[in-house]
Amino acid sequence: MQPAMRARQPDAQRQQGGAIVGAWRPARVQRGRPAAAQRPRAASNPGAITHVAATAPAPGLLSFDRDSVDSMGVALAPPNARPIVLLPGFGNCSDDYETPFGCAEEGLATQLRERGWHVEVMDLQRKHWFNVARSLLTLGVWRGALTTDPGYSWYIQRIADAVLRAQEATGADQVHLLGHSAGGWLGRAFIGGAHGSGVEAGAGDSHAPLRPHPAVSSLTTLGTPHRPARQRGERRGKAPDMTGGALGWVDALWPGAAFADAHGVDYVAVAGRSVRGCSRAVRGRGHSLSGYAHAAYMQVSGEGEVWGDCVVPTACATLDGATNLVLDGVRHSMAAIGSFDARGDRDHLWYGSREVLDAWLYHVAAFDAPPEARMRRRASGAGGAAAVAQPAIVLPAGAAAAAAAAAVEGGA
C-alpha cells in the first residue's frame, strides 16, 4: 500500500531571464555534506542553479535523500490542470513509462495519474528508432550538418499525434510536454515548428518560426542533453555530435528557453548528479558505474571526468533561461546498469521514481496555479513561501554551460 499523499500547493512565480522559484532543497541540514553545499547559492551568482543536495556513501557516488523529499509533500494536479504528454527517450518505448518491467504501479505515467494528471504517453515502439537511419542516406550525416528531417521527423509527427489525442480527451487548448532524455530536445524542436509538427514555417531553412507551437504551455526535460559536444569546452578532440548535427541545429535555431520571455512558454530542465565518471574504473561488477558513466559522458559531451546521471553530464542537462533543477543521487533511466531490471532495487532512483518525481512536478503544477496564487506569491516575495521553498535562484539567459558546470562541480 502506498503512503497517503499530502497535497502541496503549487504557489510559485515566474521572473524574466529564467528564475528558479520554490526551489526543492532539503528542509533540514543533511549529515555528511559540507555546510557550503547545503546553503542556497546567491541569486547574484550567474552560474547558480537549484540544487537538491544529498549524502555521499562512496567517492564518486551520491545517494538521494528520501527523508528530505518525504517532508515536502506531493505535487497534486491543480483544478483544470492541462494534460501532460510524455515523450520517451532514445531507445525507449511507451511501455517503459507505462509498465516498466511489467509493473504498472512503478510507471511514471501511473504515478502522474495518481496525482490527478491526465497523461498521454507518445505511442512508440523500440523498432521505430530504426527510422533514425533514414538520415544515413543523406550527405548531411557526413558533414555533421543534419536537421531533424528526415532522421527525427517521424518522432516529431508522433508528438503532434499525442498532443492531439490529449487535447481531444480533455478539451484542453494546451498541454505540458514532458521529455525524457532525447525526448526533451525533440520537444524543443516540436515547439519551434520543426518538420512533422504541423506548423512548419521555414524551420527547414535558416529562418526559425517567430511563434511557438500554439498547443504547448510548457516543456519539462529530464536528463536531456541540450547542447552538442562540439559546442562545449575549448579543448580540441571533443566527441562529435552523436545526432549528426540535428541537436546542434535545434539548439542554434531555438537556443535555450527560446519562447519563454516573449511568448510565455514555461521551461524546466532537470539534471541528475549521481555518478562521477572515472576513466580508471574497471567495467566490472562493483566498479561499473563510474566506468560506464565515463564512457557515456565522453560520447555526450567529450568530457568523462565529470558528474552526471550516469548517461548525461549534469551541466549538459541545464538550459539557458529555464528553471534549472539539479537532483543529487538521481540516475538517467529506470534500468539498473548491467541488469535492466530495477524491481526491488530502491537504491536505484531515476527521474520518474516515486521518491523523486515530486521534486520537479511541483514546478509543472505551479504553471497551472490560479493567477491569484501567482500574484500572492509575487506580492509576498520568495520569503513568503512554505518552509521548504527557498529564495529564488536565477540562471540568466545566455549563461554559459561552463558556468553551470562550475557551480555543480563546486558542490562535490
pLDDT score, position 162: 98
Q: Cell 542533453 identifies what position? A: 225
* pLDDT-derived band at 144, boundaries 50, 70, 90: confident
Does 237 score more than 80 pLDDT? no
According to the model, what pLDDT value does residue 62 have? 66
Query: Which of 63-77, 293-307, 354-368 shows the lowest mean pLDDT across its residues?
Result: 63-77
Quote the percentage of the chain above a pLDDT of 90: 46
Per-residue confidence band for 71, with pLDDT thresholds at 50, 70 and 90:
low
Mean pLDDT of 225-245: 67
More confident residue, 305 or 137: 305
- This prediction's pTM: 0.77
Q: Quick one: CA dihedral 302, 195, 193, 369, positive or negative?
A: negative
Q: What residue has cell string 520517451?
A: 88
Reply yes or no on whether the pLDDT at 243 is more than 80.
yes
What single DSSP character describes residue 77? P
Three-state SS annotation for 186-222: HHHHHHHCCCCCCCCCCCCCCCCCCCCCCCEEEEEEE
Buried b (16+ CB within 10 A) or exposed e, 60-80: bbbbbbeebbeebbbbbbbee
- Which domains, and CATH codes, for the chain? 19-410 (3.40.50.1820)
Contact status, residue 186 vs residue 155, Cβ threshold 8 Å: yes
Distance CA 239, CA 313 (A): 14
